[in-house]
Amino acid sequence: MVKQEKPTVAPRSRPPAPAKPEPLKTPVDAYVLLMPKGTDFRIHKTDCKSYKAQKAQSSYKGLQDYKLEGIVNQLEVIRDVWDDQIREQWEEEHADPEDPEKEIPDYGTAPWSWLNANGYVHSVEFHTCLNGLPQQAKGAAKTANTRKLAKTELATLVAEAAGQMLEDLLGANLADPDDPYARAAEMITSGFKGDDEIRQCVAQWLHGLPCDRDRWVAAGMAIPDRSDWAGFAARRAAASDGQSPEEATDELEEDTAPAMDGDEDVELPTE
Ligand SMILES: [Zn+2]
């Protein structure tokens, strides 16, 4: 066998090191697409040139853009797009059936490792336009959590204020000209079948607020008629019957589980 002689190469200078990907300047604004096959969510920067074409192939075709503002890392995006599912799974895992009063850590604190183990990380694909977006930059987990908690607090205050306003409205003294709600109360109550219908109407409007739902319930607000609120409705019913929350939840699952389809709003007056 003839051994081929390689010419001797004497590099004059070292080849340049491959370029590191530019770190992405954060915060960025991003769009979320739900893809019909494969990866569930695909995330683009709002100025990505591929976005429009991919949207046309996505389940969001023809719908409004799903925009996330001020994104600093992937963790924050994953938490946002899977919010309801993370909350449900996290709270189920951390609840103690023996102790319904047990304090459950906020689901906004669910760490990367937990999200990864439960499939959330792999179901979100970041398009190349977001190359360089850190998974969870130094201190970013804390930042994201701080932002999440801030949003929850803000939403909860909005819900509580709405609850208080409603009670002031429904308790208005129609005969008192100084009562700020007297005129509105008369007009509004004449358009509904009763106070509970008014409370329910407002609850339906506000059901998607990312608020602390325990505080919503504690404020005496009506429970939205939505499947993701069903547990709270059962708990309230139990509290008023003197039943334990578990009994109520069991009954609820037996009685109504097949009928729940999630996005049905109760019929509301349209005038
Ligand atoms: Zn893109």
Give the predicted TM-score (pTM) of the model.
0.50
What pLDDT does residue 1 have? 57
| Torsion sign across C-alpha atoms 226, 228, 233, 238 | positive
CA–centroid distance, residue 66 to ligand 1 (Å): 14
CA–centroid distance, residue 26 to ligand 1 (Å): 15
Query: 146: pLDDT confidence band, cut at 50, 70 and 90?
Result: confident
pLDDT of residue 24 exceeding 50: yes
- Of the two residues 232 and 171, the one the predictor is more confident about is 171
CA–centroid distance, residue 78 to ligand 1 (Å): 16
What pLDDT does residue 253 have? 45
Domain spans of the chain, in order of start:
28-137, 152-259
CA–centroid distance, residue 134 to ligand 1 (Å): 16
Alpha-carbon distance 216 to 163, whole Å?
A: 8
Is residue 124 a contact partner of residue 40, using CB atoms and an 8 Å limit? yes
Alpha-carbon distance 162 to 143, whole Å?
A: 29
CA–centroid distance, residue 218 to ligand 1 (Å): 43
CA–centroid distance, residue 113 to ligand 1 (Å): 26
For 82-133, write each residue's pLDDT tens digit.
Answer: 988 998 999 889 888 887 777 888 888 888 999 999 999 999 999 999 998 9
Instruction: Give the residues across from 34 on adjacent strands.
Output: 41
H or E stretch covering 33: strand 28-34
For 172-212, write each residue's pLDDT tens digit.
Answer: 998 888 888 988 998 999 999 999 999 999 999 998 888 98
In 3D space, the residue among 67, 65, 71 whose CA is nearest the CA of residue 24 turns out to be: 71
Q: How far is CA 78 from the centre of its chain?
A: 10
CA–centroid distance, residue 46 to ligand 1 (Å): 8
Task: Supply φ then ψ for residue 101, to 5 degrees.
Answer: -90, -5
| Beta strands 124-126 and 41-45, pairing class | parallel
